Amino acid sequence: MEQVRYPSPEAEAVLARMSERRIGADPELEKQVSEILEAVKREGDDALLRYTRRFDAPELEARNLTVADEEIEAAYGEVDEAFLDSLRKAIENIEAFHRPQLPSSWFTARPDGTFLGQLVRPVASAGLYIPGGKGGETPLISSVLMNAIPARIAGVESIAMVTPPQRSGAVDAHLLVAARETGVTRIHRAGSAWAVAALAYGTASVPAVDVIVGPGNIFVTLAKKMVAGEVGIDLLAGPSEILVVADHRANPAYIAADLLSQAEHDAMSSAVLVTPHEPLARKVLEELEGQMAELPRQEVARESLDRYGAAFLVEDLDAAVALANRIAPEHLEIQTEDPWSCLGKIRNAGAVFLGDHTPEAVGDYFAGPNHVLPTAGAARFASALGVEHFLKKSSVLSYSKAALERDTPHIARLAGLEGLGAHARSVRLRT
């Protein structure tokens, strides 16, 4: 992880390298994903089973593409009470955060007989993509919670979950329990682009859905990109990232630990420190070396830090915040003497973590806000996954005769300027 002054040509080179992580057009990958989508669209379960056997579970049978209720019930006997306690407390926190996001339909009536409003309704069905994690051996429980709970709060009646099975064909018991506890109505053993295709187009075993959400690898992301428009999607998630703004009194051990919490995800992750205090930057780099030696995934973390990590030295905290806004990170931590004074200046961040005792990990698992966040600079225009991703809004209009007579000249004039005579006639006929 290099230390570099900002602004400078060296800093621009680092930023350019970081920007290469954005999801771009790879013709070969896109061709592969397109072929997978077409195969599932054309062949249904046959293609779904073929890909799943090839890449995940060689002995999986068609009748087991959908997880049976009995398997879910049996899963409760495979998890301990401590897990259930932590799971249910996390669910409670996430529900409490997301419930206020639920908007209401609204209507206004005027004395002239004009009635206008907006009808808010949930989509009928949603599909949640839950990554398998190391061949299905490391269950990503938090992804179930963050995707399913907003859908349930929105009022979605049919919530499907797809996840790659383990080589044996099993799905981790913790995932099954988390799905049941959060209101998932059906679970399918399928992953990667073929699972997205099944959700988008439907097969005999996997009914099509209206919205697909959830993070995944590049194949999942490209598949979501290609089916967007036929179904709704949340966002195109890229590799994980964190940016820490810190001043002279920040704890270097805390910062190093938080940077590594993202660097260990994969070699494409980005971990960045921005500080006006050079001694702090040096101490953080020393801490990184010491802590990294204790990590099971130290090789991944080291590659991430070497390729996409940096400690930017800036003039002051205002410059630090300006650089953070430019990068627009997925996770932004502010470890300064007065972090709240910086908050009002933050324009672009997926989630903001304030103070020494708010590591990014509390947001990943337990605090309540959603951890499905915009990456690769998308925080400039995108938001975290939330209840609104599972809702649609319909405008409602009703005019009285008097109101239409009053507005007809204006409507007809505007329609005439656009050369749309039938529009003008449709209002004139009524007055």
330 included as an active-site residue? yes
Catalytic member of 188, 331, 371, 389? 331
| Residue 22, Ramachandran bin (φ over 0: left; ψ between -120 and 50: alpha; else beta) | beta
Catalytic residue among 181, 241, 264, 330: 330
Taking the C-alpha atoms of residue 410 and residue 416, their distance in angstroms, rounded to an integer, is: 10
Place of tokens 């409507």: 411
Q: How far apart are the first and last CA of the chain?
A: 73
Buried b / exposed e along 52-66 (16+ C-beta atoms within 10 A): beeebbeebeeebbb
Residue 69's contacts (CB-CB under 8 Å, 6 or more residues apart) are none
Does residue 389 have an active-site annotation? no
Active site residues: 330-331
